[in-house]
Amino acid sequence: MINTDTIHRSIDDRQHKWTAMSDQIWEYAETRFEEKQSAELLCLALEHEGFHVERGSGGIETAFIASYGSGQPVIALLGEYDALSGLSQQSGSATEQAIVAGGNGHGCGHNLLGTGALAAAVAVKDYMEQHGLAGTVRYYGCPAEEGGSGKTFMAREGLFDDVDSAVTWHPMDYHSVMSVHTLANFQIYYKFKGKSAHAAASPHLGRSALDAVELMNIGVNYLREHIIQEARIHYAVTHTGGLSPNVVQANAEVLYLIRAPHVREAADIMERVHDIAKGAALMTGTEVEIVFDKACSNIIPNTTLEQVVYDQFAQFPIPEHTSEELALATAVQNTLTAQEKKGSPHLPATLQGKVLADHVNPYLHGLMLYGSTDVSDVSWITPTVQCTTACFAIGTMPHSWQWVTLGATSIAHKGMLYASKIMAATAIEIMQNPQLRQTAQAELKERLQGETYVCPIPADVVPSATK
């Protein structure tokens, strides 16, 4: 049995420190591979708590690994701390209002994610000290989950190879075991180069890169008819070649994100998109440069560890909310459309019509999440499990100003600290139970069916904030 009092004391005694840290990262709002202040804040906190910190892990400036203890088993807590561009928003406001026009914001709650996982790691360390538990607890500082696949780069460098199990979470609008399947993805830039000319006097001398981008997009639109239904293809035109219609655009660029349920399926679709890009270049007399940006795999669930997480929810009371918190959440929820208020497909009927989650969702295995996460690449290497806790009003969606506005409030803080306790208890249970670890490893092996992990990011691709 786990002594939950130790976990409560570790997290509750430092709760003001953890909430202040989360709010500071919320204010930094640093995007992919630029999280220098956020990463250093977390590193310093871990060093203060007695962890040994290695910065720049895997050759990534804003990645790090903090360790306490020695030997096996090695249990990893995964943290993120990157923000999203264009989501600057005042805290605690029920009105959309940017702090900085066009600025960044924590629209996916990674300020909470990184801090909550850190608080869990410290609680595991305290438990090891007080109860003589052997092994190693590690906190992985993982940058650039949003559009950068930081963990995939870290996996490519072998940083998770000796980990026995990994535990993490994600802030949501409900409490649950995060038992899902996700989509693998590939993100690629297609950069077309043509030849400028006077669009009226000598159009025959020009070769339009913008035409190539448009033709490529049309070709991919037709491709959508002939790929599996679960796949997704998105694009953004990142460079149109200039502002003057009287000049044939010599340079233009489009960024594609290609998703499918298995990494092999996504790779096959990517090759077809490559061919369309080459065809567009041929049709327009331009050249195309294909620049690989990032990728991540599909997740490998682990029901063995998921049951452990579900059991831990029963050990810790669900956060209660004040009338002021309910009033703020109601005001934010009232900014949603009727369809948005219904929430995500994973929101159970028992939460319909409520403002803040007040119970744990039933454990349902294998739901399909039509999104992607670089946690998936860790799950191919070692048994990995996730939970969610309610940090936002029901129906508010990730990557929205509503998540940003609530992400530095007491509503989010309570959800974060609740998640910290669930993760710490889960990690401790895995650490002290060798049979559990063996069963989880056997399940992972069975699910892989002989496949071995191959990083979907080529060896010569380096992480970068922009291309």
User: Considering the domain boundaries, does residue 459 fall inside one?
Assistant: no
Helix (H) or strand (E) holding 134: none
Share above pLDDT 90 across residues of the chain, in percent, rounded to a whole number:
94
Indicate if the pLDDT at residue 365 is higher than 70: yes
Residues 178 and 151 in one domain: yes
Residues 162, 191 share a domain:
no
Domain end call among 296, 321, 347: 296
What DSSP assignment string belongs to 11-77? HHHTHHHHHHHHHHHHHH---TT--HHHHHHHHHHHHHTT-EEEESGGG-TT-EEEEEEESS-EEEE
Alpha helices in 132-208 (DSSP H): 150-156
Q: Are strands 165-172 and 384-390 parallel, antiparallel or unpaired?
A: parallel
Please state which of the ranges 68-82, 322-336, 345-359, 402-416 shows the lowest mean pLDDT. 345-359
Boundary of a domain, candidates 296, 327, 352: 296
Q: What is the pLDDT of residue 467?
A: 60
Asked if 267 and 385 sit in the same domain, the reply is no
Q: Assess if residue 454 is contained within a domain.
A: no
Average pLDDT, integer, range 218-232: 97
**Same-domain status, 370 and 435:** yes
Model pLDDT, residue 140? 98
Q: Is the pLDDT of residue 47 over 90?
A: yes
CATH code of 228's domain:
3.30.70.360
Q: How many domains are there within the chain?
A: 2
Considering the domain architecture, whether residues 189 and 178 belong to the same structural domain is answered as: no
Q: Which domain holds residue 95?
A: 4-182+299-448
Specify the CATH number for the domain of residue 13: 3.40.630.10
Region 210-233 average pLDDT: 98
Q: How many helices (H) and strands (E) does the chain have?
A: 14, 13
Average pLDDT over all residues of the chain: 96
pLDDT band at 344 (very low <50, low <70, confident <90, very high): low
More confident residue, 34 or 1: 34
Is residue 377 within 8 Å of residue 297, measured between CB atoms?
yes
Task: Please give the Cα distance from 129 to 122 (Å, whole number).
Answer: 11
Tell me the CB-side half-sphere exposure of residue 241, using CA atoms within 13 A. Answer: 27
Are residues 230 and 177 both part of a single domain? no
What is the rounded distance in angstroms from the CA atom of residue 292 to the CA atom of residue 174? 36
d(Cα 436, Cα 443) in Å, to the nearest integer? 11
Residues 176 and 172: their CA atoms lie apart, in Å, by 9
Q: Is residue 457 part of a domain?
A: no
- The predicted pLDDT at position 352 comes to 84
The answer to whether the peptide bond before residue 73 is cis (omega within 30 degrees of 0) is yes
Q: Is the pLDDT of residue 399 over 70?
A: yes
Supply the pLDDT for residue 343: 65
Task: Mark whether 224 and 287 lie in a shared domain.
Answer: yes
pLDDT value of residue 338: 85
* Contact yes or no for 285/211 (Cβ under 8 A): no
User: Is 389 found in the same domain as 267?
Assistant: no
Q: Is the pLDDT of residue 291 over 90?
A: yes
Q: What is the DSSP string of 379-390?
A: HHHS-EEEEEEE
Final residue of a structural domain among 272, 296, 320: 296
In a domain, 155, yes or no: yes
Q: Within a domain: residue 467?
A: no
**Is residue 458 in some structural domain?**
no
Amino acid letter at 421?
A: K
pLDDT band at 465 (very low <50, low <70, confident <90, very high): confident
Same domain, 177 and 28: yes
Three-state SS for 171?
A: strand
* Residues 14 and 103 reside in one and the same domain: yes
Domain membership flag for residue 270: yes
Within a domain: residue 272? yes
Q: What is the pLDDT of residue 325?
A: 98
pLDDT in tens, 293-318: 999 999 999 999 999 999 999 999 99
Q: Does residue 345 have a pLDDT over 80?
A: no
Mean pLDDT for 337-349 is 76
The one-letter amino acid at 218: I
- Residues listed for the chain: 467
- Shared domain check, 134 and 96: yes
CB atoms within 10 A of CB 204: 8
Residue range 129-142: average pLDDT?
98
Nearest residue to 80 via CA among 27, 15, 13, 33: 33
Q: Are residue 283 and residue 257 in the same domain, yes or no?
A: yes
pTM, two decimal places? 0.96
